[in-house]
Amino acid sequence: MYATAHAYAKINLGLKILARRSDGFHELRTVFQTISLADRLELTLHRGRGVTLTTTGLPIPTGRANLAVRAAELAAHRFAIPGAIAITLHKLIPLGAGLGGGSSDAAAVLRMLARAARRPPALGDLLALARELGSDVPLFLLGGTVLGLGRGDEVYALPDLAPWHCILAMPRSASTSGLATPAAFADWDRRHRAQLTEKVRSSTLMEFCSLVDQVLPAFRTLRNRGSQEPKVHAGIENDFLAGVLSLSPDFPRIHRQLCRTSAAWVGLTGSGAAQFGLFSRAEPAKAVATALARRHCTWRARFVPRRVVQHGVQFES
């Protein structure tokens, strides 16, 4: 069997941290959105044993340090898939940017191997397997616009948003190593330890639910009208943003530059390092990307709907 798949990146349309859980993780509320920046994977089943990984593009870990390899090993065991698995990964999504590239690669491997199983697993079983690999892996099995609860691993499909244009930017200094998520959570704990009361958690939860209920419909209306005003991101912020902006002058510089544009939404994805601006039209998005690229790493993308993600695996016998 030979299969190919695109592993799409994601951004977070707001991210609220409630508190640290008893299992050591943090309780989150977020809305994920898949975008067209993507890795490409090829997977071949052949005689033999084990999992091999060949990579091109951006430098990434190989062997079991790579989540795609661990996903292949886990799926082969659970789905009783015989033979050896060879994966070729063409890496375009930067590491440590908050774009979920490694998790998306793992989800793509799960989807490809699920189709190879004698008894293809139900989506619920596949989601449970994804949760074993990482908190961001389940969202990529759904794709499109997704509500994330719990650690971010409890996912629910939301109606797809229109195909907004997305400009991503991060400092060149962060492009080689990115930002570590555990360190970002530790920094948030230090900043908010005195505020972590049940009352605050309840208030934050209700605030997030209200904002999702109000902001996403407004976001659809703006796109349908071809308008970029008023800005709709206010109030549904990413709780990691304040910490990221304090890391180096380049982060607030990017943030200010994006906020001065006609972007309908400016935000941080994941725990950083990438920030984004969303535009309803291609022309202003291109102009902003060109300006940012003079000093920073910059990417252009568009929103990817659920049907594209879920039908993105191609097979040959």
The structural domain count of the chain equals 2
**233-259 per-residue burial string, b: 16 or more CB within 10 A, e: under 16:** beebbbbbbebbbebeebbebbbebbe
Domain of residue 285 covers 165-302
Identify whether residues 153 and 89 lie together within a single domain. Answer: yes
Cα gap 312→72, rounded to integer Å? 18
If phi over 0 gives left and psi between -120 and 50 gives alpha, with beta otherwise, what is residue 223? alpha
273-306 pLDDT, tens digit per residue, is 999 999 989 999 999 999 999 999 999 999 999 9
Identify whether residues 74 and 191 lie together within a single domain. Answer: no
DSSP secondary structure letter of residue 120: P
Check residues 214 and 133 and name the one with the higher pLDDT.
133
Backbone φ, ψ for residue 195 (5° rounding): -100, -5
* Distance linking the first and last C-alpha atoms of the chain: 5
Cα gap 67→107, rounded to integer Å? 9
121-174 pLDDT, tens digit per residue, is 999 999 999 999 999 999 999 999 999 999 999 999 998 988 899 999 999 988
Identify whether residues 127 and 170 lie together within a single domain. Answer: no
Cα gap 211→10, rounded to integer Å? 20
Last residue of a domain, one of 122, 137, 158: 158
Active-site residues, by number, are 10, 136
- Record the tokens describing residue 142, joined without a space: 């759904």
Task: Determine the pLDDT at residue 224.
Answer: 57
What is the overall mean pLDDT for the chain? 88
To the question of pTM greater than 0.75 for the whole model, the response is yes
- Record the tokens describing residue 227, joined without a space: 């308008």
Q: Is the pLDDT of residue 213 over 90?
A: no
Q: Is the pLDDT of residue 200 over 60?
A: no
Cα gap 168→266, rounded to integer Å? 10
Identify whether residues 90 and 199 lie together within a single domain. Answer: no
Could you tell me where the DSSP H helices lie in 144-197? 181-192
Identify whether residues 14 and 56 lie together within a single domain. Answer: yes
Q: Cβ contacts of residue 14 below 8 Å, gap of 6+?
A: 30, 31, 208, 211, 212, 215, 233, 236, 237, 238, 267
Are β-strands 51-57 and 84-91 bridged in parallel, bridged antiparallel, or unpaired? Answer: parallel
Residue 106 sits in a domain whose CATH number is 3.30.230.10
